[in-house]
A and B are shown apart, each in its own frame.
Chain A
Amino acid sequence: EPEVTQTPSHQVTQMGQEVILRCVPISNHLYFYWYRQILGQKVEFLVSFYNNEISEKSEIFDDQFSVERPDGSNFTLKIRSTKLEDSAMYFCASGLSGTAMGYTFGSGTRLTVV
């Protein structure tokens, strides 16, 4: 069964450092998403991406965050200057037909900011 692949599975970084989280969506999918889940809390939407541009972003997705699909297969989330409160599980997801049909989540990257 096709999978959404995320790397690394766990990243530890110092506060103020830049991190890039990487995702390889399912190959024929057209819609891409990043969500995060702080330990013990809800899964929260960050950003959606379609046709090489951001479709929608949440209040969490401020100027410190950016997304890119640099080569037609990878989909990356960059956090420019990490804060302690950025520590969370970050999930990439992809879908064939947008949100309404549901989509597939990757296994996640656990980001720990120290």
Chain B
Amino acid sequence: QKEVEQNSGPLSVPEGAIASLNCTYSDRGSQSFFWYRQYSGKSPELIMSIYSNGDKEDGRFTAQLNKASQYVSLLIRDSQPSDSATYLCAVTLNSGNTPLVFGKGTRLSVIA
């Protein structure tokens, strides 16, 4: 059974701070990792993908992957109130068309 685990939160951070979101996964064969943002009542929106161990930066977002520890994280620098949402971690085997397995998400609240 493939599982993706996230702390459900809420994680509260002050505006301008760094928000750190974590995710662990059970399937060692997982090769592709994604962070989606989901506002309440809306669809998931892809914000980051990462495939190799290490860090990947895109604007205020940094994804970190450690396959040995089966751990993925997302850092959001200079957090803004508009970042308040649920962040979904998703993983998949990198074999073409295998489905995404989602975690339940971490709710982030950025306090102005």
Contacts and interface: CB of A to CB of B under 8 A. Distances in A.
Contact of B97 (A41, A43, A98): A98
Contacts of B99: 33, 45, 48, 56, 58, 99
A99 B42 contact: no
Contacts of B90: 43
B97 A50 contact: yes
Given A42-B102, A43-B88, A100 B96 contact: yes
> Secondary structure at chain B's binding surface: helix, strand, loop or mixed?
loop
B46 interface: yes
Interface string B67-110: 00000000000000000000010101011111111111100000
A99 B98 contact: yes
Contacts of A43: 44, 88, 90, 100, 102
Interface stretch (A13-21, A63-71, A75-83, A101-109): A101-109
A59 B96 CA distance: 20
Given A91-B44, A105-B44, A107-B42, A98 B104 contact: no
B32 A99 contact: yes
Contacts, number: 59
8 contacts: A50-B97, A99-B92, A99-B97, A99-B99, A102-B32, A103-B46, A105-B43, A105-B45
Interface of B: 31-32, 34, 42-46, 49, 51, 88, 90, 92, 94-105
Interface of A: 31, 33, 35, 41-45, 48, 50, 55-56, 58, 91, 98-108
Given A45-B100, A45-B101, A105-B43, 17 more contacts: A31-B97, A41-B104, A42-B102, A42-B103, A43-B44, A48-B99, A55-B97, A98-B96, A99-B32, A99-B99, A99-B100, A100-B95, A100-B96, A105-B45, A107-B42, A107-B43, A108-B43
